[in-house]
């Protein structure tokens, strides 16, 4: 692996950390407010916004559901700038919507990325 590709891998790792952090922070504003849908939507919006800043040709392979069921981050949705490596993405912007709405512990944000065709 060249020094350049190692650097790009490191940038993608840092980018994914920002994606996850943005989703977590967005849903944190709704902890204990009793609104599961609002908490989930905030996390989805933040995650999608950050994913679209990454220099990737990404496809969501595990996401919020089928295209008809989920307006954003649905299975098959393309994310990223369209530049850079082709990748598959598995994500859950907010695992634990009820936990978040009820101010309970252990909600989390999940994202994984791998080369296209490997997830």
- Determine the topology of domain 3-115 in CATH: Fructose-1,6-Bisphosphatase; Chain A, domain 1 (3.30.540)
Question: Are 78 and 50 in contact, with CB atoms under 8 Å apart?
Answer: no
pLDDT, tens only, 39-82:
999 999 999 999 999 999 999 999 988 876 777 899 999 999 99
Q: For the chain, give the longest Cα–Cα distance.
A: 50
Top-confidence residue, 10 or 105:
105
Contacts of 11 (CB under 8 A, 6+ apart): none
* DSSP annotation of 113: E
Top-confidence residue, 8 or 34:
34
CA distances from residue 28 to 14, 38, 68, 96, 114 in whole angstroms, order as listed? 21, 11, 27, 12, 27
* 19 has a pLDDT exceeding 80: yes
* 106 has a pLDDT exceeding 90: yes
Question: Are 106 and 83 in contact, with CB atoms under 8 Å apart?
Answer: no
* 104 has a pLDDT exceeding 80: yes
* 17 has a pLDDT exceeding 70: yes
């Amino acid at each position: 692996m060249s020094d350049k590709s190692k650097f790009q891998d490191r940038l993608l790792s840092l980018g994914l950390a920002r994606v996850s952090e943005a989703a977590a922070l967005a849903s944190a504003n709704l902890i204990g407010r009793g609104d599961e849908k609002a908490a989930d939507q905030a996390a989805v919006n933040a995650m999608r916004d950050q994913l679209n800043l990454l220099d990737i040709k990404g496809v969501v392979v595990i996401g919020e559901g089928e295209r008809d069921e989920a307006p954003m981050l649905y299975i098959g949705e393309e994310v990223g700038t369209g530049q850079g490596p082709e990748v598959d993405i598995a994500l859950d912007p907010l695992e634990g919507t009820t936990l978040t709405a009820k101010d309970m512990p252990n909600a989390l944000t999940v994202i994984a990325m791998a080369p296209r065709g490997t997830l």
